[in-house]
Structure 1
Amino acid sequence: MEQAGKIAVTETSIEVKGVRLQTQAFGDPSSPPIILIMGMMASMLWWPDRLCEELAACQRYVIRYDQRDTGLSTHYPQGAPGYSSGDLAHDVIAILGGYGLETAHVVGMSMGGFVAQEVALRHSRYVRTLTLISTSPLAVEGLPSSTKAYQEHSRAAETVDWSSSEAIAAFLLRDAAMLAGTRHPHDPDAASALIARDMDRAPSFASATNHFALVGEEGPARLRVADIRQPVLAIHGTADPLFPVEHGEAFTKVVQNGRLHRIEGGGHEIHERDIDEIVRAIVDHTA
């Protein structure tokens, strides 16, 4: 066990059906649990340490983890993931079981927000509340697409040499800049340091591109965000170039118990200067 300030931090590897899931927990295990699900190609390191520590300091037991094909969790051959979004949702339940937890508040960002919605729909009894950051509601049509600039950048992923660490790092650095909001200046040095830390930690980074296949797969028609009954908080930047803020607003229109917290000028990111605001919103929602 380490200490982050006065916050206890433990690291645990959980096995589920031959899959290793690397997890890290912050705070007092007797506090209300929150599990954090990060987005595409991103390990748990993309949940800022300070966000985890501040949530724990507010009497929450915070668990973050590496999804499959990221960080220290199980990696698959590039182009052959061998798992579905449903498996990623079940991983959340396996982690709760590994920690001896019957329920938790579930927080998902971007692709992790899709996984979080699937957890609530497939495994409803385990979910106390949902917080969905910079994501889009399942089975809601007519929402605006990404900005043209981000679409052009995204298409460039097809030309990246995923066998080259330098090419991967350069693409991810461009991606971080493209996803930045307008409220605060983008910090390329901080982004570069996080990307390097993430890449150095993973035994294979190219396999994280397997997440692209999950976005393209056909989801079961029965999974609709309108069927979620838990309280839902959408946290969304008003300058998000990937999912424009209308995606966050949609949760308040289709979910029975949905609220929206706007990050004015926020992008598709958890900016260092927005952490205090995001923590307050999550703590209030999970009270």
Structure 2
Amino acid sequence: MAHWSTGQDGTRLWYETFGKKGDPALLLMMGNSCDATLWPKQFCQMLSDKGLYVIRFDQRDTGLSNWIDFSENPYTLQDMAADALQLLRTEQIEKAHIVGFSTGGVIAELFALNYPDQVLTLTLMMTSIDLTIKNDAFMGKDVSQAELPPPKDSFINAILELKKRPINTLHDKIELMVDNFREANGGKAPYDREYFYGLFEESLRRVDGKSQKVGHESNHALATSATSPLTKNELKSIQRRTLVIAGEEDPILPPPHGEKTADAIPAARFLSIEGMGHVLNPVFFPQLVSAIEKHIQGN
């Protein structure tokens, strides 16, 4: 069922729920410039079938939520965490299990730091203690001395080549996103182009009147740059039970990023999934849902 919430600074947010209200709430936070539909319905339904009230939402500058002129109204990932708090208040939910993917994982960490009383458990998927390494690598900066591995050169080169493609139609944009995710999927797991084409077609048709884009410009990247990286001392103050999930074939944030994150959070456990890249690939849905369910149950 679809709903609306008013986030930080009056930002209007679209969200959708799965399952029965009154069951333990699970809030999903997607990554950079990705809307709610990138948490696929099948994945959300599988989680709700475990007795959870699942919420996926369009963060600001994605999907049907407000798109913002960043030059006039800049914001940070802290503001996006505050948006999520307002959404829970709209739903009259006092506490929730929080799941964050990639940049959404950092937003989830900020949520846990700023609003610990609203967090039951934390699940961080394909994320990092420091996203600046990834951002610097894509800007061509020297990251050879970085504490954690940058994205693979082959991945960066492939994405830069994809960006050279002319985009004239909605089909062109969908194909571009399908190929982008194929690269992020890594080289081992099967990649169903037809499935991902349908996923991006759904996402892009929602906003086709605005723009043939999943997210608005690069505002999430700007918000990430405007947010100070979390320190190890800050992460040490997260006291909620945490599961950190990494994909062994992640070409963007390789497993050491997840390991470092888990090492910094006292009550964290690290799980690396064989063959998985930086994509919510249906091949891994059963494994991911099972891991989240066991984590929530304390197993």
* Matched residue type, 1:41: S
1:41–1:211 Cα contact (<8 Å) kept: yes
Same amino acid, percent of matched pairs: 28
Q: Does 1:119 align with 2:111?
A: yes
| 1:224 aligned counterpart, secondary structure | helix
Q: CA deviation at 1:232?
A: 1.0
Instruction: Give matches, 1:100-179, under 5 Å.
Output: 100-138=92-130, 142-155=147-160, 165=170, 168-179=173-184
Q: CA deviation at 1:209?
A: 2.3
1:21-43 Cα deviation digits (max 9, x unpaired):
00101111111110000011111
Query: If the length of structure 2 is used for normalisation, what is the TM-score?
Result: 0.85
In structure 1, C-alpha distance between the alignment counterparts of 2:182 and 2:206, rounded to whole Å:
22
More deviation, 225-234/112-121: 225-234
In structure 2, C-alpha distance between the alignment counterparts of 1:221 and 1:260, rounded to whole Å:
19
In structure 2, C-alpha distance between the alignment counterparts of 1:161 and 1:182, rounded to whole Å:
26
* Matched residue type, 2:3: T
Q: CA deviation at 1:161?
A: 6.5
Cα 1:78–1:119 change in 2 (3 A) is: closer
1:59 to 38, 43, 51: 51
In structure 2, C-alpha distance between the alignment counterparts of 1:133 and 1:72, rounded to whole Å:
24
| 1:24 aligned counterpart, secondary structure | strand
| 2:122 aligned counterpart, secondary structure | strand
1:159-184 Cα deviation digits (max 9, x unpaired):
57788645543432221111013442
* Partner of residue 235, structure 2: 225
* Partner of residue 5, structure 1: none
How many pairs are equivalent?
278
Cα 1:110–1:220 change in 2 (3 A) is: closer
1:117–1:138 Cα contact (<8 Å) kept: no
* Partner of residue 139, structure 2: none
* Matched residue type, 2:228: G
| 1:59 aligned counterpart, secondary structure | coil
Cα 1:232–1:64 change in 2 (3 A) is: same
In structure 1, C-alpha distance between the alignment counterparts of 2:86 and 2:227, rounded to whole Å:
24
* Matched residue type, 1:135: T
Q: CA deviation at 1:252?
A: 2.9
1:77–1:207 Cα contact (<8 Å) kept: no
Q: Does 1:211 align with 2:202?
A: no
| 1:207 aligned counterpart, secondary structure | coil
1:37–1:109 Cα contact (<8 Å) kept: yes
1:259 to 249, 269, 287: 269
1:79–1:210 Cα contact (<8 Å) kept: no
Unaligned runs of at least 5 residues, structure 2 = 134-145
Q: Does 1:279 align with 2:284?
A: no
1:42 to 34, 41, 44: 34
In structure 2, C-alpha distance between the alignment counterparts of 1:177 and 1:220, rounded to whole Å:
28
Q: CA deviation at 1:79?
A: 6.3
In structure 2, C-alpha distance between the alignment counterparts of 1:264 and 1:12, rounded to whole Å:
36
Q: CA deviation at 1:221?
A: 6.2
1:103–1:128 Cα contact (<8 Å) kept: yes
* Matched residue type, 1:209: S
1:239–1:264 Cα contact (<8 Å) kept: yes
In structure 1, C-alpha distance between the alignment counterparts of 2:77 and 2:166, rounded to whole Å:
26
Unaligned runs of at least 5 residues, structure 1 = 1-9
Cα 1:242–1:91 change in 2 (3 A) is: same
1:150-209 Cα deviation digits (max 9, x unpaired):
222344577577886455434322211110134421112222221121111023336242
In structure 2, C-alpha distance between the alignment counterparts of 1:155 and 1:30, rounded to whole Å:
46
Query: If the length of structure 1 is used for normalisation, what is the TM-score?
Result: 0.88
* Partner of residue 189, structure 2: 184
CA RMSD of aligned residues (A): 2.4
More deviation, 248-257/57-66: 248-257
